[in-house]
Amino acid sequence: MTPRQRSSIAWIGALLGLALLGYGLFVDDIPQWRVQLLVGLWLLSLLPRAAISQRAPVAARGMGRLALVFGLGFTAVALQLAREQISQASTIHERAAALLQPAAAQQPDSALTLRPADRTALGDGRVWPVATAAITRGTILDRNGVVLAMTQSGRRVYPNPDLGQIVGFQSRLYPASGRWRGCAPDAR
């Protein structure tokens, strides 16, 4: 095959790959989207693979192929995120709204049925997210009597916010990392 024919095939494949990926962003079926993503990225990779010169040193070809693999991986992640945040936003919103409804209120013949594993049932009909504001928590002191965490007006306050993630409240809804909104300013 001549280099001109190889280049023409690569350009046609790249255009078909872009069209397949663009169409796949709006497909509702997840397995079909994954197949379109893989085939589209493979077709899109034909153009850079044709550009990698066979006359280049082995190390340069290897680095070019490695860069291509990483580039395609980042492209796949970016496309998946764009699909979920743009074209699938309404579906995700409906699933989140269904999670907040009690299990008894869910329609059994609904197109959006949730598995029991999708929710965290507490046994009395309440579901995730669990209301944690009603929990009364005491003051946490270190061995010298210095206050590390206390409750003021129903809010948890950490006099030293850097220690908040160590002595702080654990929850599935609010992870224990970083600075929290309820932290008092640094007392330094």
Radius of gyration, alpha carbons of the chain: 27
Question: What is the rounded CA–CA span in Å between residue 82 and residue 21?
Answer: 11
Which pLDDT band holds residue 79 (cuts at 50, 70, 90)? very high
Per-residue confidence band for 188, with pLDDT thresholds at 50, 70 and 90: very low
pLDDT at residue 133, rounded to an integer: 46
Taking residues 84-104, report their average pLDDT.
73
98-142 residue pLDDT tens = 766 655 555 555 555 555 545 544 444 544 444 444 556 788 888
Burial of residue 168, with CB atoms counted within 10 A of its CB: 0-12 exposed, 13-18 middle, 19 or more buried? buried
Closest CA to 117 of 103, 107, 133: 103
Domain boundaries, the chain: 3-87, 129-188
pLDDT at 70 over 90: yes
Domain 129-188 maps to which CATH number in 3.90.1310, 3.30.300, 3.40.1130, 3.30.420? 3.90.1310
Query: Which range is most confident: 18-32, 39-53, 67-81?
Result: 67-81
